Amino acid sequence: MTINAAVDTTVTVHQLPTGTYETPAALAFRGGSFRERRQFAATAVLVRHPRGDVLVDAGFGARAEEHIRSLPPYRRSPHTLGATVSEQLDAAGYDRARLAGVLLTHSHWDHVSGLDSLDVPVLVTAQELRYAEHSRGDAVFRQVVADREVRTYEFGGPAHLGFPAAHDLYGDGAIVVVPAPGHTSGSVVVLVTTGAGVRYAFVGDLAWQLEGVTRGAQRPLLMRLLADSDPGQVRRDLDRVRALGPGTRVVPAHDLRAYEGIPRLA
């Protein structure tokens, strides 16, 4: 059995940038300079699908300042907050009834902060829930999902594009989640094929910047040790993503350049 990639022609993706935070390039990827500072994107992606739209991650929320203050000092950095996902949906006149849930690449604060103003189901792996329960120094997920419906899913589908298993959200190949349990123990990659025939791989924090994909540059050693649950698994999954080839647009969650060409929500 394989996953059918013939998809509904109405599937589209939109970016909802909610702000940025600053990180020296030297800490973002191997070979990066200490003189260069990168603006890390905190951008959510809306995937519109006739059976129900999903957000991939949630960006910064209305209480982002509070969330940042709750982090250990070494994890706070200069940041700029923009409109939240919730505000952008409203500004676009978006019908909330269409939103089926938020699909998380992983549970770190900068991907879930925006859940504070989105009252929709949160879709996450059981492994990631366990990770988040025991996460020290980042309690934002536990706060923002306290009164949300959290739905777990299994990778019941076959090997897909080099990954050992898959979860085909609507069974039509349009939105396929594959396991990538290296950055956190329940991290995933979300593969989306649009009606225009473009395939995106939303890889979360498998790499922080595009150099992870274009050059295979993992995080620097110190950051691998501090930030990754299993650096060896990150390496293997990064290689799988790189093997997807030029037909797939790989979007590391925090690389502003990766979102170029993805339309905003009109």
Residues within the interface to Zn ion (CB under 5 A): 108, 110, 205
State the nearest-atom distance from the C-beta of 11 to Zn ion, in Å: 25
- CB nearer Zn ion, residue 21 or residue 200: 21
Instruction: Report, in this order, helix, strand and coil percent for the chain, each rounded to 5.
Output: 25, 30, 45
226's CB contacts (< 8 A; 6+ apart) are none
State the nearest-atom distance from the C-beta of 108 to Zn ion, in Å: 5
State the nearest-atom distance from the C-beta of 227 to Zn ion, in Å: 9
- CB nearer Zn ion, residue 110 or residue 168: 110
- CB nearer Zn ion, residue 168 or residue 205: 205
- Which residues are bridge partners to 206 per DSSP? none
Q: Where are the alpha helices (DSSP H) in the chain?
A: 25-28, 64-69, 85-91, 109-112, 126-133, 140-144, 211-214, 221-227, 231-242
State the nearest-atom distance from the C-beta of 58 to Zn ion, in Å: 12
- CB nearer Zn ion, residue 26 or residue 58: 58
